[in-house]
Amino acid sequence: MAGNTFGNIYRLTSFGESHGSAMGGIIDGMPAGIDIDLDEVQRVVDRRRPGQTEGASARQEMDRVEVLSGIFNGKTLGTPIGFVVRNEDCRSEDYDHLKDVFRPSHADYTWQMKYGVRDHRGGGRASARETLCRVVAGAFAMQALKTIGIEVIAAARQMEEQIKQAKAEGDTVGGCVSCSITGVPVGLGEPVFGKLNAQLAAAMMSIPAAKSFDMGAGRALTSMRGSESLDTMRMVDGEVRFERNFSGGIQGGISNGNEIYFEVGFKPIATLMRDIPSIDTQGREVTIHPRGRHDVSAVPRAVPVVQAMAAIVILDNYLLNKTTHL
C-alpha cells in the first residue's frame, strides 16, 4: 500500500490529477526549527515548469506553490507541511478525443484495467504533472540538507539539437539524467533491504518514463575484472581517501563519505505528433491524432525531479541514521 507515500521518516504523500482542481501534498517528518525560504522553494519549482526550454509543452501554468501549514515565523514547526498548486490552464476539451482510446506505451490501458475508471484528461493521475509535488518536497529537503553541508546536483547531457530535430519530425527522444550528491557523511543506508542504493533506485524508477538505473559506474562494472574495479583506500593527511569511486559512494548499502552518483535513463515521450494506430475501450482498432501540449523529451523536466527525489532519499536516511545509536 502507500502507493502515494514515499519515504520512511521524511515522507511525501501527494495527490492530484493533471486536469483536476489542484495538485498537492503533505510532507511529514520535516525536522523542527529549520529556516525556510519559501521564495527559494518557488524558484526550484519554476525550474521544472513547462515552456521553459525548447521542446517543452506549451502549457502555461504559474504553478504557484501555496504552503498551508508547518511553517511559522519562517521556521519549520516539526508538523506536517501541507501544500497545494492549482491547475490553472486546463483545456480539458483537448482530451475529449482520448476519452475512449488507449494510447500505446501510456498508462491508459493499464489504469483502466486496474481501476475500472479513470480521468482521461491529460493522463489524469498518471500524468508527469504529479512530479511537481516531488519537486516541492525536494526543495524543502534541499534547504534542510544545505544546513548540514549536503548538496544534490542533477544534469542532463546536452541534447537540444536532437530535441529540435525530433520535434521537426513530429517525433520524440529519450535520454539520461546524471545525479551527484556531495557532503554525505559515512553511514547512511539501512541494510539489508533498505540499502541506500536500493532506496535511490526505487525513487528514480518511480519517475514517469524512467527505464534504467546505474549506480556509480553501473553497468560498466559488469564487464570489468575485479582487479580493475576496486575502490582502494589510502590514508592522506590522516584522512581516509578512496582512490577510485566506481561504487558511486555506497558500499554494502551504506554511504562511504565519497560523492554519491548515479544515472537514470528515460524512454522517449510516448505521445508523437503523428498518426498512431491503437485500440479503443470497445476493442476496436483506431488511429489516434494527437492534440494538446506535449514535451518532445522527458529529460529536461526530469532533471529537477531526479534532484528532488535524491534529496528526499538522502534527508530521510540522514534522519533514519540517527536511530542507529541510543
Footprint on residues 100-159 left by a copy of itself (CB under 8 A): 102, 104-111, 113-119, 124-126, 130, 144, 147-148
- Show the site string, 288-317: x = touches a copy of itself by CB under 8 A, - = not: ------------------------------
CB 261 to a copy of itself: min, Å? 12
Choose, by CB under 8 A, the member of 47, 53, 80, 100 that binds a copy of itself: 80
Q: How far apart are the first and last CA of the chain?
A: 30
Give the CA angle between residues 38, 310, 158 to the nearest 5°: 95
Size of the site for a copy of itself (CB under 8 A): 153
| Residue span binding a copy of itself (CB under 8 A) among the ranges 39-47, 53-61, 89-97, 174-182 | 174-182
Q: Which residues contact 142 (CB under 8 A, 6 or more apart)?
A: 44, 152, 307, 308, 311
C-alpha 196/C-alpha 193 separation (Å) is 9
User: What's at 263, amino acid-wise?
Assistant: E
φ/ψ of 68, rounded to 5, equals -105, -10
CB 20 to a copy of itself: min, Å? 5
Instruction: Name which of 265, 239, 261, 238 is nearest 250 in CA terms.
Output: 261
Which of positions 183-202 make contact with a copy of itself (CB under 8 A)?
A: 186-187, 189-195, 197-202
Q: What is the dihedral of CA 24, 28, 33, 37, to 10 degrees?
A: -20
Q: Cβ closer to a copy of itself: 53 or 162?
A: 162
C-alpha 22/C-alpha 281 separation (Å) is 27
By CB under 8 A, residue 283 contacts a copy of itself: yes
Specify the DSSP element, H or E, that contains 230.
none
CB 196 to a copy of itself: min, Å? 9
C-alpha 291/C-alpha 97 separation (Å) is 9
Q: Cβ closer to a copy of itself: 307 or 321?
A: 321
DSSP secondary structure letters along 40-72: HHHHHHHHH-TTSSTT---------EEE-SSEE
Choose, by CB under 8 A, the member of 132, 172, 184, 302 that binds a copy of itself: 172
Which of positions 2-21 make contact with a copy of itself (CB under 8 A)?
A: 2-6, 8-9, 11, 13-17, 20-21
| Residue span binding a copy of itself (CB under 8 A) among the ranges 40-48, 56-64, 91-99, 265-273 | 265-273
Choose, by CB under 8 A, the member of 60, 62, 64, 79 that binds a copy of itself: 79
